[in-house]
Amino acid sequence: MSYLGSKASSGAYQAIIANMPAHNTYIEAYLGTGVIFNRKPPALHSVGLELDPATLADFKPERNIDIYNVDSVAFLDTFTFDDPETTFIYADPPYLEETRTSNNRYRKDYTRGDHLQMLALYQRLTQQGVHIMISGYPSKLYDETLSGWRTHTFRVMTRGGVRTEKLWMNYEADSKHWAAYAGKNFTDRQRIKRKAARWAKNFAAMDASEQMAVLSAIMNA
């Protein structure tokens, strides 16, 4: 069975990582095969939560990384957030059934009630100051429930053709952290990467006083 909902396709994981805020603790609520978990820059402490034990076989214990075979909603409902404002949760729950076009199914699927329970939890955690991103197909249920959240859409290629994915985020756009993934698509990311490399090369060629002048101008821009 192919893994429904994988974020390995080009453009998917880049868009997700590029929209993450700065954080010290990273919690991935639906770890799956760990595409995002393994590709994002590491946090000081990373936590992966996954209900399906079969998908955890390839994960090895590492320093500052904890993997739990648990129901993420139950786990997070009782989790103690020592520093909520530096904690970031990324959630990629099973797609709502009405948004799917594939016949593939999750081994651990979600009902509409499960989605509502999850969304209610994340609204409570928002009040605590925790930063949260949820990904999925565009959904009226999510839009209405998370009406105050910022959103971002992007296109990805799936086995069923091109689909639109959507992100729901409870933090401001200027909280973006991972500049290496900036850009709307592959071409735009390459353009930005080349521009950044040119600027870095020019900056490195300056003497110390000129570098300080440039930094001062940027900080005051």
Specify whether 122 is located in the same domain as 43. yes
Q: How many CB atoms lie within 10 A of CB 190?
A: 11
Specify whether 136 is located in the same domain as 159. yes
Task: Tell me: pLDDT of 6 over 80.
Answer: no
Which of the four pLDDT bands, split at 50, 70 and 90, describes residue 200?
confident
What is the total count of domains within the chain?
2
Q: Is residue 163 part of a domain?
A: yes
Q: Is residue 3 part of a domain?
A: no
Specify whether 46 is located in the same domain as 128. yes
pTM, entire model: 0.76
Q: Is residue 104 part of a domain?
A: yes
Report the percent of the chain where pLDDT is more than 70.
Answer: 80
Specify whether 194 is located in the same domain as 157. no
Residue 80's DSSP bridge partners are none
pLDDT at 100: 64
Query: 91 is in which domain, residue-wise?
Result: 12-182
Mean local confidence (pLDDT), 8-35? 88
| The two three-digit tokens of residue 144, written as one number | 């209405």
Specify whether 193 is located in the same domain as 103. no
Specify whether 143 is located in the same domain as 211. no
| The two three-digit tokens of residue 163, written as one number | 């689909």
* Block residue for tokens 């016949």: 103
* Block residue for tokens 């605590």: 128
Q: Is residue 7 part of a domain?
A: no
Query: Across all residues in the chain, what is the average pLDDT?
Result: 84
